[in-house]
Amino acid sequence: MSQPALPHETLEAAVDWLVKLSSGAVSDELNAQFQLWLDADMHHAMAWQQLSQSMSGFEQVQHLAGRQEGHAPAVRQVLSGKPLADRRHFLKSGAAVVALGLGTAYLANRVTPLSHIMSDHVTSTGERKKLVLADGTRVQLNARSALDVDFSEKQRVLTLHQGACIVDVAPDALRPLMLRTVHGVVKAGGGCRMLAGISGGQTYAMVQQQSLVVAPLHQPEAVLTSSEAVAAWFDQHALMLKPANVNASMAWEHGMLDVRDQRLEEVVERLRAYHASWIRLAPRAAGLRVFGMFQLDDIGQIMHALQSILPISIRRYGSLVTMIDLV
């Protein structure tokens, strides 16, 4: 009999307790509070058991992933014994989570995003990928991204499920390129260079060369040109244009994080695609302003730099959790 799915918040709470109980001196009062939490709900005990059992499994997933270029092939390997259609059904039904173990799957998802692992192109945490499509269009995928490609004689369609991509569109007078997300479509002609991504329950798009058309599912279209320093943010029902620095937003293609007077919570959100452990940011530190250039492939150096320029403390608990708070 399969185990019921545990709420995300319950697993997060279990991680919090793991951090507290691993911090050194543990008082009788803390032990008593932990026991009260365990006894308060059967799901709490299940989450703790799954997390405890999964720690070695997580290390094994990291070890397997580390032997290959990118982690996604390692996770695909788990499913390689099934036909493609069966693998997709296997993942969609949630059976993969049960097979891996709820806690292990939750942790493994920080290495490679499991929800779209069977997409045509997937990048893992900290991995970027360059693609050249059949028509000559060039695509760069950011870390933790998933993209499907559907090209035919009549259409050129990219479907972005997660993450972000930079697209240099090859000329084709009869087939404009369409990039779809769950929120709508971005349309571009040959010669267009654009950035599109999904964040915070919305799709965003901006253009560096020429122009593009943004079409939310249930809203009128909007045209963006390279002369405008704006990004289009939209979901299925609303579209908003916000000031944006396109070059800074695309800096990740060169392995850089270009931060120009942004809130720390925005910076941390962008770092999560490059850091396999959970990054916990205290709400009271979220509003600190950050300005600087950082190398995305050296997260340790970024954390050190942030700690040197901001009044924050950063504590690490193995490879599982990084805690950021005010000093």
* Sign (positive or negative) of CA dihedral 16, 22, 25, 27: positive
| Least confident stretch, 110-124, 181-195, 282-296 | 110-124
Topology of domain 255-326, CATH:
Phage tail protein beta-alpha-beta fold (3.55.50)
Q: What is the DSSP string of 79-109?
A: TTTS-HHHHHHHHHTTHHHHHH-HHHHHHHT
pLDDT at residue 144 greater than cutoff 90: yes
Kindly tell me if the per-residue pLDDT of 268 is higher than 90. Answer: yes
How far, in Å, CA of 18 to CA of 47, rounded? Answer: 11
Q: How would residue 117 be classed by pLDDT, with cut points 50, 70 and 90?
A: confident
Give the burial class of 322: count Cβ atoms within 10 A of its Cβ; 0-12 exposed, 13-18 middle, 19 or more buried.
buried
Q: Supply the pLDDT for residue 60.
A: 47
Distance CA 299, CA 273 (A): 11
Q: Token digits for 289? A: 């302003």
pLDDT at 92: 44
Least confident of 131-145, 221-235, 305-319: 305-319
% of the chain exceeding 70 in pLDDT:
75
Find all residues with CB under 8 Å of 75, minimum gap 6, and list them: 61, 65, 108, 111, 112, 114, 117
Residue 201: count other Cβ atoms within 10 Å of its Cβ: 8
For residues 125 and 92, what is the distance between their CA atoms, to the nearest angstrom? 21
Q: How far apart are CA 269 and CA 286, in angstroms?
A: 11
Domain with CATH 2.60.120.1440 in the chain: 123-245
Show the tokens assigned to 89.
């059904």
Alpha helices in the chain (DSSP H): 8-21, 28-40, 42-66, 72-78, 84-92, 95-100, 102-108, 246-249, 264-271, 299-309
pTM of the model: 0.74
Q: How far apart are the first and last CA of the chain?
A: 48
Give the CATH class of 123-245. Answer: mainly beta
The CA distance from 45 to 164, in Å, is 37
Please, is 300 exposed, middle or buried when counting C-beta atoms within 10 Å of its C-beta (0-12, 13-18, 19+)?
A: exposed
Instruction: Give the mean model confidence (pLDDT) for residues 206-210.
Output: 96
In this prediction, residue 72 carries a pLDDT of: 53
Q: What are phi and psi of 247, to 5 degrees?
A: -60, -40
Of 196, 203, 316, nearest to 246 by C-alpha is: 196
Per the rule left: phi > 0, alpha: psi between -120 and 50, beta: everything else, 76 is alpha
Q: What is the pLDDT of residue 46?
A: 84
What is the residue-averaged pLDDT of the chain? 82
- The whole-number average pLDDT for the span 270-278 is 89
Taken in order 182, 184, 190, 195, is the CA torsion positive or negative? Answer: negative
- CATH 3.55.50.30 range(s) for the chain read 255-326
Whether pLDDT at 6 is above 80? no
What is the residue-wise DSSP string for 227-287?
A: TS-EEEEE-SS-EEEEE--HHHHTGGGGTEEEEEEEEHHHHHHHHGGG-SSEEEE-GGGTT
Distances in Å between the Cα of 107 and the Cα atoms of 13, 68, 84, 95 are 14, 19, 24, 16
pLDDT tens, residue by residue, 176-204: 999 999 999 999 999 999 999 999 899 99
